Structure 1
Amino acid sequence: MDGIRMPQVRLPFPAHEANPYLARAQSALDAWLDESAICRSVESRRSLQRTRIPLITALAYPDAAPDALELLVQWATWTFVIDDEFDDGPDGQDPARCASALATFLPVLDGAPAGGSASARAFAGTWERLVEGRSPAWRRMLGDDIRAYLWSYYEGLVDQRAGRVPTVAAYRRRRCVSVAAYTWLDVVEIAVGVDLPETVRHFSSFRDLREAAAEYVGLHNDLWSLERDKNAGAFHNAVLLVQHHDGCPLQEAVDQVNDLITDCAQRMLDAERALAVQLDAAGINGQARADALSCREGYAKFVRGCFDYPSQARRYTAAATGPCGEATAPHQLF
């Protein structure tokens, strides 16, 4: 974006290579897309190819086993396809149609059979594979986060139709949900091969770590999608909201959002340290402690992978290069 200087974004986690099974996951995805027929048009398939979903997944989950990576790529792809449908199709323009569309997906989380659409059947099949062999607590966590993510389409649409502009604080909370960040964090446990005790998930440090990580990726994505969001004229970007509410120049708003991102990074570091202390306080040792620390490391790698992805891929071929020129989806993660 002309005249805007992008700040140096802080991230205190080292870079890493993408998952070595990236090519295998790409091949498996191609086969699944052919089989599931969830892409309604040739352009939809091309959009997925430009997005390079296997790349962002391989960066987010660098240590996932081959079969796990293939599953996580499939799940990520489903969310991107649904995002495009709600963003560009009629279901994302009318609240009643949006609610009706959600009703074809949400009952699957409670064990109901899938609806008749290809996307509903694909969702049911992917959900079944995600939860296979997982603990009830983990299934409940992922199910709740998927519900919140899907309902965010409806909530955002109603706000848009009503002309309601959220506060920056409200937006920061909702952004974590609307980019599906919590669902991506949930499946870190699949990627690193653990299923945490439910007690650990109730640590305040664990919740703080998740919230800071989710907020970081959402706000960082807003820097990259700023030009597209500004051109769209909608308040689904933290920078634009800061500018709107504070009446400040765009550059100042960019710098303020970068300060928020920096705060998220520090909150993650603080929560990481607190998690180790709380494990000791709760008397959690052995494999359970090792699993919690592996999940903590997986969260850091997830955030780092999301951080590195925009510089390695372009969601739309018409996008400019670099921050504030990267065109990304307004709702979904990248």
Structure 2
Amino acid sequence: MTATVRTAPPPPPPAPYGLDGIVVPEVTMPAPPHTPNPHVRAAHAAAQEWLDRFGLCRSAASRRILRRARLPLTAALFYPGASPPVLARLTPWLYWICIMDDEFDDGPDGRDPARCAATLAALLDVLGGRPGRTPAERALADIRLRVQEGRSPGWSRAFRRDVEGWFWTYYEDTADRVAHRYPRLDAYPRQRAHAFGAYVMLSLAEPAAGVDLPEAVRRLPALRDLRHAAAEYLGLHNDFWSVGKEREAGVYHNAVILIGHHERVGLQESVDSCAGMLDARARRMVAAQLELPGQLDAVGVSGVTRAEALTCAAAYWHVVRGAHDYYQRVDRYTRADPRLKDELAPPHGLFTGQ
């Protein structure tokens, strides 16, 4: 007779902090997990060298915030197939997105529309090719050139449009804040996709996967639908996981907070509704993925170009699945930073005191 060994069930996955007493619903994720990029250490070392070279971490608080975000893990999960040099070129963009988000959320540039517009105008000039004058501008000029290395003019133009669209959302959010305007729920998911930098992250998935699509393929409705649904999923998913941080900071550009405001419902109902919005985007992604091969055939795309279009679609899925797995592993979203409330200065000082 053998003894029965009873094992305890595995602990539940971490939930977003700030949702005490809330039953956090399971979010639909059709894509299977994948192995993270094995070159993450080299990419992390390259990103640290880039931060130090341009002086983008000016305080212990800034270094702690970036450490808690575990951005090399983001790169490894989002871009699992990128070669070591490509991953090293992409990872600084994820740092830049995180730093920009913190600066405009918590610093003075996100509170004064005129100041915000002036800061963005300077950065947009650099994006257009003007040499950088400040450390922040020189850092942007550097990663702009490096990410475009070996890319087609078409991809570079599309990437610039994505970055410009992301930048301008900081001004839109600032204008909302000073006018005490809450964005409409029907318009918010696309706005949030841009504001989160999701389109930038998806554009970076193309060099990560080693593809560079012709403009006619990039414009195919099925691929565009997949991209839009993926971008909205990424933005809403970030809202889902950052609601605790943003409620504490008084930020209301968050789907959960907006649902509660517009629908006059409690936090549990708002969280459930946000999960439903994520499920809808996941279903849109699946539908677009199924339509893509037939649409490629219908317009006569074949051979290497057809294979690259399907690879691009898979790369978008990698970003979305990577985000799904990332948030559960990162202190920035699963536990509060008790020291942040005592630090009144902008977290990184990227645009102040230069």
TM-score tier, shorter chain, comes to over 0.9
Map 1:296-311 → 2, pairs under 5 A:
296-311=313-328
Return 248-257 or 6-15, whichever deviates more. Answer: 248-257
Given residue 322 of structure 2, which amino acid in structure 1 is its aligned partner? G
Given residue 297 of structure 1, which amino acid in structure 2 is its aligned partner? A
Return 175-184 or 308-317, whichever deviates more. Answer: 308-317
CA-CA distance at 1:28 after TM superposition: 1.3
| Aligned partner (choices 58, 61, 64) of residue 43 of structure 1 | 61
Query: TM-score if structure 2 supplies the norm length?
Result: 0.87
Aligned to 1:285: 302
CA-CA distance at 1:318 after TM superposition: 5.0
Q: Taking structure 1 as reference, are residues 317 and 243 closer, same or farther at Cα in structure 2, changes over 3 Å only?
A: closer
Higher relative contact order (CA 8 A, sep 6+): 2
**Structure with max Cα Rg:** 2
Return 218-227 or 276-285, whichever deviates more. Answer: 218-227
Q: How far, CA to CA, are the matches of 2:190 and 2:206 in structure 1?
A: 23
Seq. identity, %: 47
8 Å Cα contact 1:213-1:303 kept in structure 2: yes
> How far does the alpha carbon of each residue in 1:235-280 deviate from its partner, in whole angstroms, 9 at most, with x for none?
2111111111111222112111111111111100110111111100
Q: Taking structure 1 as reference, are residues 316 and 223 closer, same or farther at Cα in structure 2, changes over 3 Å only?
A: closer
| Aligned partner (choices 62, 67, 73) of residue 80 of structure 2 | 62
Consecutive unaligned residues in structure 2, runs of 5 or more? 1-18, 338-346, 348-354
Consecutive unaligned residues in structure 1, runs of 5 or more? 321-328, 330-334
Map 1:189-228 → 2, pairs under 5 A:
189-228=206-245
The number of equivalent residue pairs is 320
Q: How well do the aligned residues superpose, as a CA RMSD in angstroms?
A: 1.6
CA-CA distance at 1:83 after TM superposition: 2.1
Query: TM-score if structure 1 supplies the norm length?
Result: 0.92
Q: How far, CA to CA, are the matches of 2:213 and 2:334 in structure 1?
A: 40
CA-CA distance at 1:147 after TM superposition: 0.5
8 Å Cα contact 2:30-2:282 kept in structure 1: yes
Aligned to 2:160: 143
Asked if 1:125 is matched to 2:142, the reply is yes
Q: Taking structure 1 as reference, are residues 47 and 232 closer, same or farther at Cα in structure 2, changes over 3 Å only?
A: closer
Asked if 1:252 is matched to 2:269, the reply is yes
Given residue 104 of structure 2, which amino acid in structure 1 is its aligned partner? F
Map 1:11-30 → 2, pairs under 5 A:
11-30=29-48
Given residue 39 of structure 2, which amino acid in structure 1 is its aligned partner? Y
Asked if 1:264 is matched to 2:277, the reply is no
| Aligned partner (choices 196, 202, 205) of residue 188 of structure 1 | 205
Return 133-142 or 282-291, whichever deviates more. Answer: 133-142
SS of the residue corresponding to residue 169 of structure 1 reads coil
CA-CA distance at 1:317 after TM superposition: 8.6
Aligned to 1:324: none
Return 41-50 or 291-300, whichever deviates more. Answer: 41-50
Regions of 4+ moved over 4 Å: none
Given residue 148 of structure 1, which amino acid in structure 2 is its aligned partner? G
